Amino acid sequence: MKRIGFGQVEPNHLSAQRTGQIYAQLPAAKSIAVLENGMFAKYDYVNGEVNFSGEGEWMLVLNEVKLYDDAWRESYKDFAMKPDNSNEMTPRLFKTAIGDIFTTNTLGDGTADVEVAVGNKLTVGADGYLKVTASPADGEMTWLVVKVYTMPDNQPAVKIQRIA
């Protein structure tokens, strides 16, 4: 599976949409150059930033897509959060729960073709991207590939469900 453009998410069943466990007040660490939908990050309240190394669990990056060109020229693949003129970005993070389901093409950073099949387990890498993991550690956030699918723009994708 290889994608064109930035990562995309289709939220099929995300409990945060009902529980309100959506965090969007802290700026991203200055070291983060881009946050794509479908990545994961940590809401590091102690250090006052969103990063990849803080305490707590990984949360799903699901920013509001803002496209400024004519609709026929741009699509979700054209959006990622990057630092603005003030060199700051404030992402929206969704707390996920066991049972949550979404469709995404954000496996790895998009530079390599990722082999994925129904039944594969995914975990979050140190860079915030999902990766195929043969044997996740006990207690590690784990997602199960339940369907090899497509995004609305027909790019290859996977439908995944959180199982741990």
Residues 78-109: tens digit of each pLDDT: 889 988 767 789 999 999 999 999 999 999 98
In whole angstroms, what is the distance from residue 112 CA to residue 44 CA? Answer: 29
> What is the pLDDT averaged over residues 58-87?
79
Please tell me the distance from the alpha carbon of residue 132 to that of residue 142, in angstroms, as a whole number. 10
SS3 18: helix
Distance CA 21, CA 31 (A): 25
- Buried/exposed 3-27: b ≥16 CB within 10 Å, e otherwise: bebbbbbbbeebbbeeeeeebeebb
Query: What is the Cα–Cα distance from 124 to 130, expressed in whole angstroms?
Result: 5
Rg (C-alpha) for the chain, rounded Å, is: 15
Contact 145, 118 (CB under 8 A): yes
pTM of the model: 0.92
Percent of the chain with pLDDT over 90: 79
Specify the pLDDT at position 72. Answer: 59
Q: How far is CA 151 from the centre of its chain?
A: 14
| Host H or E run for residue 143 | strand 143-150
pLDDT digit string (tens) for 28-56?
Answer: 999 999 999 999 999 999 999 999 999 99
